[in-house]
A and B are shown apart, each in its own frame.
Chain A
Amino acid sequence: MTEIHVRHLLKRFDNGKVGVNEVSFEVNDGEFVALVGPSGCGKTTTLRLIAGLEPVTSGEIRFGERLVNEIRPRDRNVAMVFQDYAVFPHLTVFENIAYGLRARGGYTREDINGRVLKAAKMFRIDPLLKRKPRQLSGGERQRVALARAVARDADVYLFDEPLSNLDAQLRHQAREDIMLLHEQKRKPTVYVTHDQSEAMALGNRIAVMRAGKLEQIGTGQDLYSRPTNLFVAFFIGAPSINLFDGQLVADGTSIYVDCGVFKALLPNSFTEKVGAHVGKAIKVGIRPEDMHVPKQAPFEVSEDNTIKGILNEIEPSATGSIAYLSSLEGERDYVATFRIRLPASYIGKEIPLGINMEKIHLFDTETERSLLYG
């Protein structure tokens, strides 16, 4: 039984730059946490700190009760899959998979053979055991790296963007292979990626990082529907959330969101949370899927929740269509997604869309914190 506890983790590089700034999170036993963020946000550094490949400046990393800060990587008993796979080119597939077993010792010859064969079978590379990496495709090499990680019983599994060098078709299969590895081992796993959709697909929970800081950690659903700040709201979800500058306006007991482009009534349940911001500038976020064609909206569409704009372009998507619109005044562009196919004849016309105000996001312009979920 191991969990990963990361507490107040700080990494300052030799050049004084802070790569990871006061990051704290836990990965429970058997949990798969995806660490996601734009490049340079410190996600890979965090992973390398957990692996022990970089020394910690301050803070704590514990595996279960064991403080591992000062423990060498080889003694932490972690397994890691690298972005470039780090499959040794001069060793056969068999030798590559057996590398960790040989290096650690304590395995009999039969045990090594058995484990290597089992790991290779799991990732369908058992016919390739005698080959050298040079003779393998990128996808096969990646599976060798997975097999090497699975052959040994590590306490913690780490992945550093393992899919970024694969083409789209292989990526899907590789995701399944990684899930297979995780289900087999059921150990705490940290998976670094810059691709939010990959993180959503794989992670039990997702940790979003920006500029060395952990912005939010939670399930994909949490991050998507209750982002605590503007960055997370914008980073999670594709197409990205639509953002409008606006302010909160009180009219009797009702509070309106006024963005110029549209003016909409806030549901009563939100009024208490936003009361202090009435009259102040805010940023308003609306997910593309929360704008509906009036006739098909799951709520009543009225003057109080409608945004009007010209439809510029329609792009068919796997689940329906993506509409690109711009507002009548100020030409603010925004995006809406529908579960239906819009007829092309609508292009160039003015379209009113109903906003699902229950799912709206409001952010403080200064602090970028969410007024509703922050």
Chain B
Amino acid sequence: MAEQTLAPGTPVEEMKPAAVVEVKLTRRSRVEKWAFLIPALLFQLSWGWYPLVVAFLLSMTDARPRGPISWTGFQSYSRVWADPLVGSAFRVTIIYAALSIVLTFLIPIIVAILLMEMKPRVMRWMMILWFLPLSGVASTIMWRYVYNQDFGFLQWIAMDVLGLERQGFLASADQVLFWLIFPGILMFGPGLIYMAGLQSIPQSYYEAAEIEGAGLWRKIWTISLPRIRPIIVMMLTFAIIGSLQVFDWPKLMTDGGPGGASRTVVMYMFDLLNSLRYSDATALAIFLFILIMAITITYRILFKEDPDS
């Protein structure tokens, strides 16, 4: 720390605090800083950026299982760009992402806020239920039965209870993306995160609001939601990225059918890899990467970080 010495009789204006002076790192603390950073950097390089770089390089070649590999530049990109199945996969993916966010993103927020209003005992039980280690694959297969056209529960509701015509559900190209969303909500992970966020809000805020005359709705609107806003922003980022990369639910329930109506970008990438078209698959991956980056950056610009949180 630089110490400030003042000659006696220095005018008051010159007695400015010396706090702005940047503290210089000593050699020892520089070494320590790198010692702490290097493991994280290595991890990030080997598991994060290395596959990305290799995928990018691969996409510029005619990579195949055997034989010499040669440099082909952007050939695979133009091939993928011209592929009508790619266009349809992007359309499917974006519709799926939009539907799932619009229809399901708010559900865990609402449920978490309402649960907070319940008795602590009820709340604890709900949290335990949310924490149950459900198998995603198993429950998704259960959903396949629910959606079954012949003996599924939903068909029973549609025909016997509501008296509608026989519905296609997953077999209908118009409906399939809508029904695919719901197995995703079952995993209520975000609800737990919202509840943890809500629990960290000081009780006195709610008490003060109550005394000032606020009802339940106003308390939610003026305290709960603003306080968990940073969590909502973060969860929305994850939801957008996750839904654009959706693979497991359509793969397990429809395998892209009927007629490609539920074939998402990642599923098509998977198909390309299976047919040994490595460069096309990685080129498609790069396209998806660019789309996700663009959406995420736009989104981060729109929702700036809140300094009051």
Contact = CB atoms under 8 A, between A and B. Distances in A.
A349 B213 CA distance: 65
Nearest to B227: A90
B204 A84 contact: yes
A53 interface: yes
B214 A134 contact: no
A99 B222 contact: yes
B308 to A, nearest CB: 5
A78 B222 contact: no
Contacts of B209: 88, 99, 103
Contact of A134 (B207, B208, B308): B308
Interface in A77-125: 78-80, 82-84, 86, 88-91, 99-100, 103-104
A74 interface: yes
A90 B210 contact: no
For A51, A78, A79, A103, the residue with the greatest tally of chain B CB atoms inside 10 Å of its CB is: A103
B212 A103 contact: yes
Interface in B222-272: 222-223, 226-227, 229
B205 A88 contact: yes
A84 B215 contact: no
Contacts of A78: 211
Nearest to A14: B120
Contact of B210 (A53, A83, A84, A148): A53
Given A86-B202, A88-B205, A99-B222, A80 B211 contact: yes
A86 B213 CA distance: 14
Nearest to B120: A14
A79 B204 contact: no
A100 B213 CA distance: 6
B306 interface: yes
B218 interface: yes
B208 A103 contact: no
A152 interface: yes
A82 B212 CA distance: 12
A152 B214 CA distance: 13
A86 B205 contact: yes
Contacts of B212: 74, 79, 99-100, 103-104, 148, 152
Given A80-B208, A100-B213, A148-B212, A134 B307 contact: yes
Interface in A132-172: 132-134, 148, 152
A165 B125 CA distance: 36
A306 B309 CA distance: 65
A74 B213 contact: yes
A133 B208 CA distance: 15
Given A86-B205, A132-B308, A79 B227 contact: no
A88 B210 CA distance: 13
A43 B123 CA distance: 30
B202 to A, nearest CB: 7
Interface of A: 51-53, 72-74, 78-80, 82-84, 86, 88-91, 99-100, 103-104, 132-134, 148, 152
Interface of B: 202, 204-205, 207-215, 218, 222-223, 226-227, 229, 306-309
Can you list the 7 inter-chain pairs with the closest CB atoms, starting with the nearest?
A: A100-B212, A86-B208, A103-B213, A86-B204, A104-B213, A90-B226, A103-B214
Given A82-B208, A86-B202, A88-B222, 18 more contacts: A51-B207, A74-B210, A78-B211, A82-B207, A83-B204, A84-B202, A86-B204, A86-B205, A86-B208, A88-B223, A90-B229, A90-B308, A90-B309, A99-B222, A103-B213, A103-B218, A134-B307, A148-B212
26 contacts: A52-B211, A53-B210, A53-B211, A73-B207, A73-B210, A73-B211, A74-B215, A80-B207, A82-B207, A82-B208, A84-B204, A86-B204, A86-B207, A88-B208, A88-B209, A89-B308, A89-B309, A90-B226, A91-B222, A99-B222, A100-B212, A103-B209, A103-B214, A104-B212, A104-B213, A133-B308
